[in-house]
């Protein structure tokens, strides 16, 4: 029989969540002009096997949620082993990042610092609606794209308009999902004194905000591929996004009729559909386009 502490730690690391953030790395992989394969492999391992799980572990440890959290309907109680595991994963990732270069290592350390500041009770950026959104918007989106793009390049191509647009697209797609992942947790977040973006926006406002940000990201995607004379890639993005839009409209309609539809089950459906669609698109872009 598995040790309950080990099982709890494993669940709270939420390893599948790393897949939801994989499209950002894949976009960098697909758009870099000259690829350093060795660096790309190390960057993937550092971010998706060490840094993101460590961040999830910290978040769970400091939040100590009693209700459902992303990917876990009935989260087990956290224990100190989770904290130690998160610290270990974090620093294994930092040490491995040194094999790429010192700039990447510093970037990973900075990301780790922000992930702790996001949840740690002494700072807890999460309780500030706008600041917490900007942290996720910038540092899970554009920051990771730019860091990955320049690290896995064989040469320094400079900060071009295309690179800027691609990073901003990543931020918009990440940011569009952010309030919807909070929409079912208003009561739980309120008990801790957090004022999340979704609480500030309300149920209807959360959907409007997410829809507008996704629309803005889509416009940027059009501009990006138009600039690169390859609108086929844009229309494939639209095709992959149709199931996302379909469920978004369905869920929005349900919540506007009955706010109890803003629940964990529907949030997970939205997350799985949108993540799967983006994974399919960016995987295609990376390996088949």
Q: What angle do CA 12, 128, 209 make, to 5 degrees?
A: 90
- Supply the DSSP string of 53-72, one letter for each residue: HHHHHHHHHHH--SS-BTTB
Q: Quick one: pLDDT at residue 96?
A: 97
Q: Residue ranges per domain, the chain?
A: 4-287
Give residue 88's Cα distance to chain centre: 21
Residue 255's nearest CA partner among 190, 189, 210 is 210
pLDDT value, residue 122: 87
CA angle 103, 104, 105 (to 5 degrees): 90
Q: Please state, in angstroms and rounded to a whole number, the distance separating the CA atoms of residues 256 and 251.
A: 9
State how far the Cα of 228 lies from the Cα of 163, in Å rounded to an integer: 12
Q: Is the pTM of this model over 0.75?
A: yes
Q: Which residues of the chain have pLDDT under 50?
A: 1-2
Position 1 scores a pLDDT of 38
Taking the C-alpha atoms of residue 209 and residue 179, their distance in angstroms, rounded to an integer, is 8
Domain 4-287, classified CATH 1.10.600, yes or no: yes
pLDDT for 72 equals 64
Specify the pLDDT at position 67: 60
pLDDT confidence of residue 66: 62
What is the reported pLDDT for 45?
Answer: 97
The pLDDT value recorded for residue 3 is 60
Buried b / exposed e along 228-261 (16+ C-beta atoms within 10 A): eeeeebbebbeebbeebbebbeebbeebeeeeeb
pLDDT at 265: 93
């Amino acid at each position: 029989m598995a040790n309950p502490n080990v099982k709890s730690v494993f669940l709270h690391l939420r390893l599948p969540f790393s897949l939801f953030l994989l499209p950002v790395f894949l976009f960098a992989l697909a758009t870099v002009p000259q690829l350093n394969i060795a660096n790309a492999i190390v960057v993937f391992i550092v971010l998706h096997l060490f840094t993101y799980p460590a961040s999830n572990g910290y978040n769970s440890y400091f939040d100590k949620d009693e209700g459902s959290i992303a990917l876990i309907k009935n989260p087990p109680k956290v224990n100190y082993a989770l904290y130690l595991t998160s610290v270990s994963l974090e620093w294994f990732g930092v040490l491995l990042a040194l094999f790429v270069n010192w700039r990447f290592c510093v970037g990973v350390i900075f990301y780790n610092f922000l992930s702790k500041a996001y949840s740690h009770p002494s700072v807890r950026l999460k309780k500030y609606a706008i600041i917490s959104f900007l942290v996720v918007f910038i540092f899970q989106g554009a920051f990771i794209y730019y860091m990955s793009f320049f690290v896995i390049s064989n040469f320094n191509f400079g900060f071009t308009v295309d690179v800027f647009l691609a990073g901003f697209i990543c931020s918009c797609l990440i940011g569009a999902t952010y309030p919807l992942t909070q929409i079912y947790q208003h009561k739980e977040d309120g008990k801790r004194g957090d004022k999340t973006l979704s609480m500030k926006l309300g149920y209807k406002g959360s959907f409007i905000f997410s829809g507008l940000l996704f629309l803005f990201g889509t416009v940027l995607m059009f501009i990006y591929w138009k600039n690169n004379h390859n609108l086929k890639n844009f229309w494939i993005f639209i095709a992959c996004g149709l199931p996302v839009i379909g469920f978004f409209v369905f869920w929005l309609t349900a919540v506007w009729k009955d706010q109890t539809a803003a629940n964990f089950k529907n949030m997970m459906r939205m997350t799985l559909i949108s993540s799967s669609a983006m994974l399919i698109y960016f995987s295609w872009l990376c390996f088949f386009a």
